[in-house]
């Protein structure tokens, strides 16, 4: 009997798949691992990487020699779906400081300064809420 040691990348201990012969195809190895781990082939695919060389096996017909050790990762069938929208907010110091500058070189009154600060604070709060 021949065997291949495998472990999921998040686990510490190796498990074993047994087969007869000198090697096993990648497709057969994936099938045996999915059966042993009770995974559904319609939900995910397996990425198999050689544990010593860290080379990922990509061709389904490649033969993996007996007594090898591999690392397994689950991957969604359709690829990774983006979680949501990404907002890019300019929070650089120059962008904030420009909003404090008066239109001309005359000094601001306390009422004008309060109004500008309130507008900046409100826009930052709204931006933060949108990002959450």
Give the Cα separation of 35 and 101 in Å (integer): 67
At residue 111 the predicted structure's pLDDT band, cuts being 50, 70 and 90, is confident
Token pair recorded at residue 12: 């510490």
Predicted local distance difference test score (pLDDT) of residue 41: 80
d(CA 17, CA 22): 13
What is the bridge-based pairing of β-strands 69-76 and 2-8?
parallel
- The pLDDT assigned to 125 comes to 63
- The alpha carbon of 123 is separated from its chain's Cα centroid by a whole number of angstroms, namely 31
CATH 3.10.20.90 holds for 2-76: yes
Instruction: Supply the pLDDT for residue 10.
Output: 92
> Of 20-34, 36-50, 116-130, where does mean pLDDT reach its minimum?
116-130
- pLDDT above 90: residue 47: yes
Residue 112 pLDDT > 70: yes
The pTM assigned to this predicted structure is 0.58
pLDDT above 70 covers what percent of the chain? 70
| Domain positions in the chain | 2-76, 93-131
Q: What is the pLDDT of residue 12?
A: 94
Give the pLDDT confidence score for residue 101 in this predicted structure: 55
| pLDDT tens digits, one per residue of 56-97 | 999 989 999 999 999 999 988 766 555 555 555 555 555 555
């Amino acid at each position: 009997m021949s065997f291949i040691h495998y472990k999921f990348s998040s686990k510490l201990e190796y498990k074993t798949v047994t087969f007869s012969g000198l090697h096993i195809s990648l497709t057969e190895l994936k099938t045996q691992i999915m059966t042993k781990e009770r995974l559904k082939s319609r939900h995910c695919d397996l990425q198999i990487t050689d544990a010593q060389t860290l080379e990922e096996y990509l061709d389904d017909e490649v033969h993996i020699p007996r007594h090898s050790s591999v690392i397994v990762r689950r991957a969604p069938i359709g690829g990774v779906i983006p979680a949501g929208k990404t907002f890019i907010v300019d929070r650089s110091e120059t962008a904030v400081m420009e909003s404090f500058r008066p239109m001309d070189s005359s000094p601001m009154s306390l009422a004008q300064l309060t109004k500008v600060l309130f507008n900046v604070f409100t826009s930052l709060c709204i931006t933060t809420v949108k990002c959450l």
